Structure 1
């Protein structure tokens, strides 16, 4: 048995596509589709260093491969059925195991990870119970774990037994949130559902972790069905990869509860897969060892669990009320910082999770009591990430702080027009128009030409200048970013943002749009009723203002109505 691969892991990730599916993909749907194909193994990711681009033929080939795996009609296009399947909650384990030739030549539609347990008797232990979002009784949780394992042992020669010696169990089951010491932190409700480790000789092999911030339910489609996810995860813990067959519990997509746990039967594809690893079940009587009691089977509680009533979501309130401390474009993704937490938007325009992650759990090296980030940007010369907090700054390589930081902000040698030393940076970004770095503070901004070597540059000559040079935007923005293929510049203030065409300074009147709706996936405000008195009478006709709204991220890439671009680049 290959034990070196025991740390391959699985996560179930909700891919949040916000735009409605249409017969012809909109540009944002197309980009999301390409990102999806790269994420799940159908396309090799573009190489940012070599500038590799995906070809039209390669993308069409990948779409056909995905459609073949999913059992869809092979059109080679992002049609409605394909986009709908891409929008479903699913596991983040890639679908493709091996090369494309292996996929095409494979007779069976199920897939094996290449790992299996070298014994038939496996022990399991439930280390804790869900407590943050779920109302499930502990006895019901244990019962569902037992039933989910039994699904697999009923059809093989595997035998599962619960053990009270948790540290010695082959399959350790736990509910955790955020960082939980396995290297793969959860990201809150609505993101990663669970992950499991394939068989092996390492201690973590077979372990199965569920995100405690999910609303785990039983026979209630208003949350995530615990039994269904457990059966799927235990399949991975036993050595199964994803299946392209339908139906199959090992399909990548979570499609809701599978039904009664007492009568649920494995689909044929999953049955063949597990029996390939562990053999067909041999019916024979077993006699309990003398002197040892037969373990009592967990029983389903007599009282049904209460119906889940979703409490008010404090994360949604924090996310939707705006007022972000900093916004940054890092590796092509947009990070929104607020207090001690941040939200993360992928290149596709979808949030990684509606719930925020703690800043200091991601960028280890910032003060543990960090509760506000002033500004952040990614330095393009070496891709280092620079944080400004108060009168200090930190430089990170990926998520690790470089030695010798923090250092004083005074090293940047910024002075106001009145000659005072700047003690705080309020906004920072690299302008896609010219590749220069811009720092903002109290209505003024400084331009820097950063070179190789990582040394702190001095401000370019004739700076600072007034933010009022950027017409139609706030003079004291919360933050500024350049983002997207068009390189638009976005100014954020409160719960609004202003979009400027790449290279533009004065585009006339710029209408602010909602950060909550377009970026943070919050519902649009309720329409305001308008009252129109009927002519000749005291009654009114109360119409509702139904002006059309746009769904992000397509709204984020709208070409501004005013495209007059004044050639004023020399001013900045």
Structure 2
């Protein structure tokens, strides 16, 4: 086969990048949903509301649908090495053990029974990142280092915050991280500003700074809204359920469920829409994962795994600050307050532009991939 000529590579790269830029995934973004719906708008259910029917279930019971609850616990790390297709509706020892570990992580009474308090916690919208990674719990209920019953390695933990097993972080000496948005989402400057504010909250207390760039493939952190199964093995589930997930350093992927009712601005607590989710609150949480923090068992922390709809939680707690400074040190200008600083935007490469933007780096990358695959 003849090698492609340079001009053919450039044309191919352009066509491929153009086609990718026009694969649009529209997210449900509302400027202020309280002004969109009447006060008597009906309450919509969440992805896991059916679990409320399990109130009072305990070991030895056999209840229709418990297999789905086992799949939930497996997804978040509480039941290891068991394909969901093999789950039964029996309340067995594995489920009881998972419930006890879950109750401990969330500061509930450790009974192994599906009581009201446990189920109220389980059905809340949450981050898609597991609480137990590779057998190691990334939550600490303030009782010293803990591991799940099936765990081998231990995680590092101080107070309530935690880091991922192996303590992944951005390389020592990193001062700035760039971030970019999936061109197919076509986000407005207003939406991008929400993420800039979220990054600024972490920059206030650490030695890191963050800068938006238009080069999606070249950015350290890549942000996008996706629906359902989007190719990373962690499918989204529609309204509520898992809201978003992000990968530990230095992966840089940050994905949000496009099917959520995201509130960009306005008072989310006054929304008439029961499924309204505050975008900045979720962004602040997921950025913590991008930087290397695991989940915290402290409910006031932004790194707590769950957040109710129509709730705003964007101010870093002392637990969050202690954790991130353990990884990266303190911002020398940090004075103990958490008033957000002005976000930095990249004006040199069109970082403030709306919609798709593809850099020379992108074209060269596609050209290289095409050439090497022939």
Which position in structure 2 is the counterpart of 1:210?
A: 256
Q: Is the 8 A contact 1:33 1:86 kept in 2?
A: no
TM-aligned CA deviation for residue 58 of structure 1: 4.6
Which position in structure 1 is the counterpart of 2:304?
A: 251
Q: How many aligned residue pairs are there?
A: 266
CA distance in 2 between partners of 1:188 and 1:23 (Å): 24
Q: 1:174 aligns with which of 203, 224, 242?
A: 224
Which position in structure 1 is the counterpart of 2:159?
A: 108
Which position in structure 1 is the counterpart of 2:30?
A: none
The DSSP-based 3-state class of the residue aligned with 2:256 is: strand
Which position in structure 1 is the counterpart of 2:205?
A: 155
| Residues 165-204 of structure 1 mapped to structure 2, 5 A cutoff | 165-177=215-227, 186=236, 188-190=238-240, 192-200=242-250
Q: Is the 8 A contact 1:156 1:281 kept in 2?
A: yes
Q: Given the superposition, is the C-alpha separation of residues 38 and 230 from structure 1 closer, same or farther in structure 2, using an over 3 Å criterion? A: same
Higher alpha-carbon Rg: 1
Ranges in structure 1 where 5+ consecutive residues have no aligned partner: 1-13, 132-136, 285-291, 299-572
Which position in structure 2 is the counterpart of 1:126?
A: 181
Q: Given the superposition, is the C-alpha separation of residues 271 and 294 from structure 1 closer, same or farther in structure 2, using an over 3 Å criterion? A: farther
Which position in structure 1 is the counterpart of 2:49?
A: 17
CA distance in 2 between partners of 1:47 and 1:295 (Å): 46
TM-aligned CA deviation for residue 50 of structure 1: 9.6
CA distance in 2 between partners of 1:48 and 1:188 (Å): 20
Q: 1:117 aligns with which of 142, 165, 170?
A: 170
The DSSP-based 3-state class of the residue aligned with 1:18 is: helix
Which position in structure 2 is the counterpart of 1:347?
A: none
Q: Is the 8 A contact 2:214 2:349 kept in 1?
A: no
Which position in structure 2 is the counterpart of 1:41?
A: 77
Which position in structure 1 is the counterpart of 2:356?
A: none
- What TM-score, normalized to structure 2? 0.59
CA distance in 1 between partners of 2:319 and 2:104 (Å): 16
- 1:301-352 CA-partner distances (Å, limit 9, x unpaired): xxxxxxxxxxxxxxxxxxxxxxxxxxxxxxxxxxxxxxxxxxxxxxxxxxxx
Q: Given the superposition, is the C-alpha separation of residues 60 and 176 from structure 1 closer, same or farther in structure 2, using an over 3 Å criterion? A: closer
Q: 1 or 2 for the larger relative contact order (CA 8 Å, sep ≥6)?
A: 2
CA distance in 2 between partners of 1:49 and 1:174 (Å): 30
Q: Given the superposition, is the C-alpha separation of residues 190 and 199 from structure 1 closer, same or farther in structure 2, using an over 3 Å criterion? A: same
TM-aligned CA deviation for residue 36 of structure 1: 3.2
TM-aligned CA deviation for residue 62 of structure 1: 2.9
CA distance in 2 between partners of 1:91 and 1:143 (Å): 21
RMSD (Å) for aligned C-alpha atoms: 3.8
| Residues 112-511 of structure 1 mapped to structure 2, 5 A cutoff | 112-113=163-164, 114-118=167-171, 119-128=174-183, 138-177=188-227, 186=236, 188-190=238-240, 192-200=242-250, 205-218=251-264, 219-220=267-268, 221=271, 222=273, 223-256=276-309, 259=312, 264-283=314-333
Q: 1:95 aligns with which of 124, 131, 134?
A: 131
Which position in structure 2 is the counterpart of 1:84?
A: 120
Ranges in structure 2 where 5+ consecutive residues have no aligned partner: 1-45, 138-144, 149-153, 335-345, 353-374
Q: Given the superposition, is the C-alpha separation of residues 212 and 20 from structure 1 closer, same or farther in structure 2, using an over 3 Å criterion? A: closer
CA distance in 1 between partners of 2:76 and 2:194 (Å): 30
- What TM-score, normalized to structure 1? 0.40
Q: Given the superposition, is the C-alpha separation of residues 297 and 281 from structure 1 closer, same or farther in structure 2, using an over 3 Å criterion? A: farther
